C-alpha cells in the first residue's frame, strides 16, 4: 500500500487511527498490538507471503536480543560476542539471499565462466530497513545499551508502518520509550494538526513535484545514446530534484503520519542541497542511514581513532558498503566509492585550510556560494551513477555533461532569437528539430526547483516551533516569516497544498526508495 | 474549541471547497469532452487537450454518436480519414473516427468490441500498419488484448474531474481557444491537425519531413522489432485480423482493410533499412487471411502503399515556409485530402476523383509486388538526391549506439 494512494489516505489510515485511540482508552498494550497488526496488514497488501518473512525476522531477532541481554547481564562477554556474531550473520545472510544472491552469482559467473541460476528472487519490500534496524538493536544489546523489551513493543518498533518500507531507519532507544509513554495513547489535536500538515507537504512534494519532474528524467536514462550538453544536464538535474522531492516527501509523510499517532520519528532530510561540502551533505541527506553507517560500521571499523590513513580507508569502505546497501549493482558501488573519495578529499581540504591558518567556521558569502556550487555539482555527478542502468550509460551521460558530445538547442530557439544564431553557431552550438516543448518544460522545472531547494526553508524549519521530528535542533527562528501555527491563514494555505496533493493521486507512482 | 481543532476544521472545509471548485471547473470546461454540459465559443469549444485522453474522449463520443460506419487504426487513420468526407455514402452516416495514435491492431479490436456492445456498424474501415505487426524478440510471444474493466473506466472519469492533470488541461483548453493553431479533436473523433498547420507555416514542410525521416530511420534501423522470427509470425496481430473478420461476418458488416498511403520517403527507408522483404511478407500474410474469410463475409483488403502520383509529392526545399503540401504532413502521415481519395476509391464513391489503390488477393499479389518493386527502383533512379539524403540518415542511425540490448 502506498502513502500516496486513495485507499491508504481515505481508508487504511483513518481506520487505524480511530481504532488505535479507541483501544488505547482501555488497554495500551492492545492498542500497540493493533498497530502491529495494522502494520503487518500494510506490509501484506503488497505481498502476503513476505509477512511471514518479516514475522520470522522479528521473532528471531527478539529471541536473540533476549538471550543476548541475559548473557550480557551474567558478564560472559565471549558468549555474548559469539551469539551476536551468529545473529548478525543470520540477518546478513537473509538480506544477502534476497538482495544480493543474483548479483554475486553474476560476479561468480563472470569470473568462472559457469553460470548458476537460482531463479528470480523477488526482493521483499523494506528488507534493508528492517534488517539494519534489528542489527543495530542486537549490537546495542551486546554493548549493554539496550535490554530486552516487551515483545509487542519490539514488534511495533520493527514493523511500524510509517517507516517500514523506506525508513527513516529507526533506533530502539528513541522509539521504545515513546511506546511506553501513557500520553502517546491519548488523542492530542495539536499532534493531529502538526502531523497532517507535515503529511500534506510530503504528499505535495511527492505527487506534484517529484512525479511532475519525473517525465524529464526517463528519456535520458532509459536510452542515453550520445546526449549533448543540455540533454545530459537536463536529465541529470531533473533526476537530482526528483530523487530529493520523492524521498524527502516520503520521509515527511512518514513523520506526519506517525505524529498523528503521537509518535515522533527522527529527521531524515535537512535541505541537503544547501550543504557547502560533502561532509555536511551527508549530515543532511538520509540522515538516519548516515547515522547508522557512522555508529555501526564506521565506528566499528575504528573510525578516526587509528590515524588519518585508516580513517580515510574506513570512510571509503563505509561508503562503498553504503552504496551496495542501495542496490546490488556496480553502479551503486561506484556511487558509494565516489562519495567516499569526495569525503576523503573534503577532509584533506579542511586539513590543508587548517594548516594554512584559515578559520573553518567563518567564510565569505562568495566562498560559501562557490563551495555550495561545487558540492552540488559533485552530488549531481554521483546521482548519474546512482540512476544509470550501467557504466557505459553513466560515462556517456557524464561525457555529455562535460560538453564532449556537443551542444544542441531546439531549432525554434533561432526563430525566437534570430540574432543569436550566428554567435551560438560560432561557439559550436547546433540546432535540432523537435523536442522543443519538452526542452522548455524540463528547464522550467529545473530553474524553478533549483532556487527552491537552495534557498527555501524546509518542512521542519517551517514547523520548527512544534518539534516536528526527533533530532531537530532548529526552531521557528530558522524560518521566522514562515513559522507555522494552527491559524486560519495557515489552514487555508495548507488546504491548497493538501488539495494539490490529493489531486495528484490519480497518477499514483511508487516511491523511488522502495527499491532499496 | 482549541486552536488545533479550529485549524483542523478550517483545513477540512477549505480542502473540500477547493476540491469542489476544481471538480466544477473541470466539469464545465470538460477538456476531454466527456460530459459536454456546455460548449461555448472562446471558452471550451475547441478541445485542445482531448488527445491527452484520446481513448476516453473517443469512446464517449462513439457511444453518443452510435455510428453506422467506424474508422479504426492508428494516428494515420486518425488524421487521414475524416468522417465528414463526401466519400462516405449516405447510408453509412454518421461516421465516427475511433483510431488511436500509437494504437495497433489489438487496440483497434478492443475498440470494435466495445462499440459492438451498444451498436451494430454497417461499415468498418481499418487502417493496417506494417510497423504494428513486427515482433519484439525480447517481449513475450503473445499478449492478450487489454481488458477494459468498469472500475478503470470510473477511475478515468473521476480523474477527469478531480486531478491535477485535468485542472492543467482545463486551463490549457481555455488558453487554446485564442491559439490560431490549436491541436484538437473534432466531435466525430477526427484530428484536423491544426497545430501542424502552425508548425508548417513556422518551420516549413521540409523540417517536418526531415524530422520524421530521421525518427523513422532510427526506429527502422535500431529497433529490436522484426517481422521475421524463426518460430512464428506476430501471431497476436494476425489473430486480431482474423478475429475482426469473424466479427464482421457475425455482424453482417462490411469490413475494409486499408494499407496506408505513406509517402515515398517511408517506402525508400523500408528498403534501405532492409525491411522491404518483410513488408512484402506482411502483405502476403494479410492477403491469405482475407482470402480465407468464411463465405458470405464482405471483407476486402486494399493496398494504397505504392508509388502513386500522390506518394511521390515533392517536398518544398529547406527554408521554404510559404509552399504548402497538398497531400502530406510528413512522410508518415497523409492529409485528409488524400484520405478522401482513398475513401472514395475504397467505397466506390463518385464524389471524389481520381481513383487510387488496388484490391489485394493472394491470386495476383506477386504480380502486384513485382510492379511495386519496379516502381521503387524507378523512384530511386529519378530521385537520386532525396534517396541519398535518406541513405545518409540510415547510415547515421546505424552508427548510433543501440537503444536496447545493453540494459542490465
Cβ atoms within 10 Å, residue B177: 15
Q: What integer pLDDT is reported at residue A54 of this predicted model?
A: 93
B164 with A504: Cβ contact below 8 A: yes
A326 is known as an active-site residue:
yes
Which candidate, B143, B369, B112, places its Cα nearest to that of B257? B112
Q: What integer pLDDT is reported at residue A479 of this predicted model?
A: 65
Mean pLDDT of B262-278: 93
pLDDT digits (tens, 9 = 90+) for A447-458: 999 999 998 999
Mean pLDDT of B161-180: 92
Supply the DSSP symbol for A470.
B
For the record, the C-alpha cell of A390 comes out as 550501467
Mean pLDDT of A9-29: 96
Kindly state the percentage of chain A with pLDDT values over 90: 59
B11 with A196: Cβ contact below 8 A: yes
ipTM: 0.86
How many angstroms separate the Cα of B184 from the Cα of each of A145, B5, B48, B171, B273? 67, 48, 4, 15, 34
Q: How many angstroms separate the first and last alpha carbons of chain B?
A: 59
A390 with B406: Cβ contact below 8 A: yes
Helices (H), B146-204: 150-161, 164-176, 194-203
Contact (CB, 8 A) for B160 and B32: yes
The answer to whether residue B231 scores a pLDDT higher than 70 is no
Which residues lie closer than 8 Å to B119 by C-beta, 6 or more apart?
B66, B67
Interface of B to A at Cβ within 8 Å reads 2-8, 10-11, 14-15, 17-19, 22, 155, 158-159, 162-165, 167, 202-203, 207, 210-211, 214-215, 400-401, 403-404, 406-408
Sheet architecture: strand order including B123-128? B95-97, B69-72, B123-128, B254-259, B299-303, B358-359
B210 with A434: Cβ contact below 8 A: no
The answer to whether residue B337 scores a pLDDT higher than 50 is yes
The answer to whether residue B251 scores a pLDDT higher than 60 is yes
Chosen for mutation from B6, B8, B196, B217 (greatest number of chain A CBs closer than 10 Å) is: B8
Contact (CB, 8 A) for A267 and A460: yes
B197: exposed, middle or buried (Cβ count in 10 Å: 0-12, 13-18, 19+):
middle
A389 with B203: Cβ contact below 8 A: no
Cβ atoms within 10 Å, residue A73: 12
Q: What integer pLDDT is reported at residue A399 of this predicted model?
A: 95
Distance of alpha carbon B392 from alpha carbon B379, whole angstroms: 17
A189 with B2: Cβ contact below 8 A: yes
Angle at B90 between CA B86 and CA B95, to 5 degrees: 75
Which candidate, A482, A496, A448, places its Cα nearest to that of A209? A448
Angle at B32 between CA B27 and CA B33, to 5 degrees: 75
pLDDT digits (tens, 9 = 90+) for A422-448: 888 888 888 877 678 889 999 999 999
Q: What integer pLDDT is reported at residue B406 of this predicted model?
A: 33
Mean pLDDT of A295-303: 87
Q: What integer pLDDT is reported at residue A413 of this predicted model?
A: 77
pLDDT band, very low/low/confident/very high, at A411 (cuts 50, 70, 90)? confident
Which residues lie closer than 8 Å to B358 by C-beta, 6 or more apart?
B302, B303, B306, B368
Provide DSSP, A284-331: HSSHHHHHHHIIIIITTTTTTTTHHHHHHHHHHHHHHHHHHHH-SSHH
Contacts of A496 in chain B (CB under 8 A): 18
Which candidate, B134, B51, B66, B137, places its Cα nearest to that of B99? B51
Chosen for mutation from A199, A200, A223, A389 (greatest number of chain B CBs closer than 10 Å) is: A223
Helices (H), B67-189: 75-80, 105-115, 150-161, 164-176
**What are the CB-based long-range contacts (under 8 Å, 24+) for A341-346?**
A341/A316, A342/A278, A342/A378, A342/A382, A343/A278, A343/A279, A343/A282, A343/A315, A343/A316, A343/A319, A344/A312, A344/A315, A344/A316, A345/A278, A346/A277, A346/A278, A346/A279
List the single residue in B2, B19, B401 with the smallest CB-CB distance to A499.
B19
Residue in chain A closest to B1 (alpha carbons) equals A189
Q: What number of helices (H) and strands (E) belong to chain A?
A: 25, 2
pLDDT digits (tens, 9 = 90+) for A62-106: 999 999 998 888 877 778 889 999 999 999 999 888 888 777 777
- Any chain B CB within 8 A of the CB of A496? yes
Q: What is the CA radius of gyration of chain B?
A: 23
For the record, the C-alpha cell of B250 comes out as 457475425
Mean pLDDT of B157-162: 88
Determine which one of A142, A163, A326, A339 is catalytic.
A326
Q: Which of A352-356, A409-413, B120-124, B279-283 has the lowest mean pLDDT?
A: A409-413
Contacts of A485 in chain B (CB under 8 A): 3
Distance of alpha carbon A469 from alpha carbon A467, whole angstroms: 6
Chosen for mutation from A106, A110, A193 (greatest number of chain B CBs closer than 10 Å) is: A193
Contacts of A106 in chain B (CB under 8 A): none
For the record, the C-alpha cell of A322 comes out as 553504503
Task: Report residue A239 CA to chain centroid gap.
Answer: 14
pLDDT band, very low/low/confident/very high, at A471 (cuts 50, 70, 90)? confident
Instruction: State the angle between helix axes of A13-26 and A28-44 in degrees (0 to 180), rounded to the nearest 10.
Output: 160
A362 or B105, which is more confident: B105
Mean pLDDT of B187-197: 91
- Any chain B CB within 8 A of the CB of A502? yes
pTM exceeds 0.80, yes or no: yes
The answer to whether residue A507 scores a pLDDT higher than 80 is no
Amino acid at each position: 500500500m502506498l502513502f500516496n494512494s486513495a485507499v491508504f489516505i481515505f481508508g487504511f489510515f483513518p481506520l487505524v487511527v480511530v481504532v488505535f485511540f479507541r483501544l488505547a482508552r482501555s488497554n495500551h498494550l492492545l492498542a500497540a498490538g493493533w498497530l502491529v497488526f495494522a502494520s503487518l496488514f500494510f506490509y501484506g497488501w503488497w505481498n502476503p507471503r513476505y509477512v511471514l518473512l518479516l514475522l520470522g525476522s522479528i521473532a528471531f531477532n527478539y529471541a536473540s536480543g533476549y538471550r543476548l541481554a541475559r548473557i550480557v547481564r551474567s558478564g560472559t562477554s565471549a558468549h555474548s560476542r559469539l551469539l551476536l556474531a551468529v545473529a548478525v550473520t543470520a540477518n546478513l545472510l537473509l538480506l544477502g539471499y534476497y538482495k544480493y544472491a543474483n548479483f554475486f552469482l553474476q560476479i561468480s559467473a563472470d569470473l568462472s565462466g559457469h553460470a548458476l541460476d537460482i531463479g528470480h528472487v523477488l526482493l521483499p519490500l523494506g528488507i534493508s530497513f528492517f534488517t539494519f534496524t534489528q542489527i543495530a538493536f542486537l549490537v546495542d544489546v551486546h554493548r549493554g545499551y539496550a535490554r530486552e523489551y516487551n515483545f509487542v513493543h519490539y514488534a511495533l518498533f520493527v514493523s511500524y508502518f510509517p517507516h517500514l518500507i523506506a525508513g527513516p531507519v529507526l533506533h530502539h532507544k528513541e522509539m521504545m520509550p515513546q511506546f511506553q509513554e501513557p500520553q502517546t495513547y491519548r488523542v492530542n489535536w495539536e499532534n493531529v494538526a502538526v502531523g497532517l500538515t507535515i503529511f500534506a507537504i510530503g504528499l505535495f512534494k511527492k505527487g506534484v513535484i517529484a512525479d511532475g519532474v519525473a517525465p524529464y528524467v526517463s528519456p535520458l536514462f532509459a536510452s542515453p545514446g550520445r546526449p549533448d550538453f543540455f540533454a545530459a544536464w537536463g536529465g541529470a538535474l531533473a533526476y537530482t530534484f526528483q530523487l530529493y522531492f520523492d524521498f524527502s516527501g516520503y520521509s515527511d509523510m512518514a513523520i506526519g503520519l506517525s505524529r498523528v499517532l503521537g509518535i515522533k520519528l527522527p529527521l531524515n532530510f535537512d535541505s541537503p542541497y544547501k550543504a557547502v561540502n560533502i561532509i555536511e551533505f551527508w549530515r543532511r541527506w538520509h540522515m538516519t542511514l548516515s547515522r547508522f553507517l557512522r555508529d555501526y560500521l564506521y565506528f566499528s571499523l575504528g573510525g578516526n581513532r587509528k590515524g588519518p590513513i585508516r580513517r580515510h580507508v574506513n570512510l571509503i569502505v563505509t561508503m562503498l558498503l553504503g552504496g551496495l546497501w542501495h542496490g546490488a549493482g556496480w553502479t551503486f558501488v561506484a556511487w558509494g566509492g565516489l562519495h567516499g573519495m569526495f569525503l576523503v578529499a573534503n577532509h584533506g581540504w579542511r586539513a590543508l585550510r587548517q594548516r594554512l591558518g584559515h578559520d573553518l567556521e567563518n567564510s565569505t558569502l562568495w566562498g560559501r556560494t562557490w563551495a555550495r556550487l561545487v558540492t552540488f555539482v559533485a552530488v549531481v555527478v554521483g546521482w548519474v551513477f546512482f540512476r544509470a542502468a550501467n557504466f557505459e550509460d553513466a560515462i556517456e551521460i557524464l561525457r555529455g555533461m562535460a560538453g564532449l558530445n556537443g551542444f544542441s538547442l531546439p531549432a525554434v530557439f533561432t526563430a525566437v532569437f534570430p540574432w543569436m544564431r550566428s554567435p551560438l553557431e560560432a561557439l559550436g552550438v547546433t540546432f535540432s528539430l523537435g523536442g522543443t516543448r519538452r526542452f522548455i518544460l524540463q528547464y522550467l522545472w529545473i530553474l524553478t526547483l533549483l532556487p527552491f531547494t537552495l534557498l527555501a526553508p524546509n518542512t521542519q524549519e517551517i514547523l520548527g516551533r512544534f518539534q516536528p521530528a526527533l533530532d531537530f535542533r532548529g526552531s521557528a527562528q530558522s524560518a521566522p516569516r514562515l513559522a507555522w501555527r494552527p491559524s486560519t491563514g495557515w489552514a487555508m494555505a495548507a488546504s491548497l497544498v493538501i488539495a494539490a496533493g490529493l489531486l495528484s493521486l490519480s497518477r499514483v507512482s511508487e516511491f523511488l526508495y522502495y527499491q532499496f | 474549541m482549541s486552536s488545533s481543532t479550529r485549524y483542523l476544521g478550517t483545513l477540512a472545509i477549505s480542502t473540500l471547497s477547493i476540491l469542489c471548485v476544481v471538480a466544477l471547473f473541470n466539469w464545465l470546461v470538460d477538456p476531454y469532452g466527456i460530459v459536454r454540459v456546455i460548449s461555448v465559443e472562446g471558452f471550451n469549444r475547441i478541445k485542445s487537450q482531448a488527445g491527452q485522453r484520446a481513448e476516453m474522449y473517443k469512446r464517449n463520443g462513439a457511444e453518443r454518436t452510435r455510428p453506422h460506419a467506424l474508422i479504426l487504426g492508428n494516428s494515420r487513420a486518425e488524421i487521414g480519414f475524416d468522417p465528414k468526407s463526401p466519400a462516405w455514402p449516405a447510408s453509412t452516416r454518421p461516421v465516427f473516427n475511433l483510431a488511436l495514435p500509437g494504437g495497433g491492431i489489438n487496440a483497434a479490436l478492443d475498440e470494435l468490441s466495445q462499440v459492438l456492445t451498444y451498436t451494430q456498424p454497417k461499415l468498418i474501415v481499418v487502417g493496417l500498419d506494417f510497423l504494428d505487426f513486427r515482433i519484439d524478440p525480447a517481449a513475450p510471444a503473445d499478449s492478450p488484448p487489454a481488458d477494459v474493466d468498469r472500475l478503470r473506466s470510473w477511475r478515468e472519469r473521476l480523474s477527469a474531474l478531480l486531478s491535477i492533470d485535468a485542472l492543467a488541461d482545463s486551463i490549457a483548453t481555455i488558453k487554446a481557444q485564442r491559439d490560431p493553431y490549436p491541436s484538437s479533436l473534432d466531435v466525430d473523433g477526427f484530428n484536423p491537425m491544426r497545430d501542424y498547420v502552425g508548425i508548417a507555416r513556422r518551420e516549413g514542410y521540409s523540417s517536418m519531413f526531415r524530422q520524421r525521416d530521421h525518427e523513422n530511420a532510427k526506429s527502422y534501423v535500431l529497433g529490436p522489432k522484426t517481422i521475421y522470427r524463426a518460430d512464428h509470425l506476430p501471431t497476436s496481430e494476425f489473430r486480431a485480423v482474423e478475429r475482426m473478420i469473424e466479427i464482421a461476418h457475425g455482424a453482417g458488416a462490411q469490413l475494409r482493410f486499408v494499407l496506408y498511403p505513406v509517402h515515398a520517403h517511408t517506402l525508400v527507408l523500408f528498403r534501405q533499412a532492409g525491411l522491404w522483404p518483410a513488408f512484402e511478407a506482411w502483405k502476403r500474410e494479410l492477403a491469405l487471411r482475407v482470402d480465407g474469410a468464411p463465405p458470405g463475409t464482405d471483407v476486402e483488403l486494399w493496398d494504397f502503399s505504392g508509388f502513386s502520383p500522390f506518394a511521390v509529392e515533392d517536398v518544398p526545399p529547406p527554408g521554404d515556409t510559404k509552399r504548402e503540401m497538398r497531400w502530406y504532413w510528413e512522410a508518415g502521415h497523409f492529409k485528409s485530402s488524400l484520405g478522401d481519395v482513398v475513401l472514395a476509391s475504397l467505397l466506390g464513391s463518385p464524389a471524389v476523383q481520381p481513383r487510387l489503390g488496388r484490391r489485394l488477393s493472394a491470386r495476383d499479389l506477386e504480380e502486384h509486388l513485382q510492379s511495386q518493386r519496379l516502381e521503387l527502383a524507378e523512384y530511386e533512379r529519378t530521385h537520386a538526391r532525396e534517396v541519398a539524403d535518406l541513405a545518409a540518415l540510415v547510415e547515421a542511425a546505424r552508427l548510433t549506439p543501440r537503444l536496447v540490448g545493453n540494459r542490465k
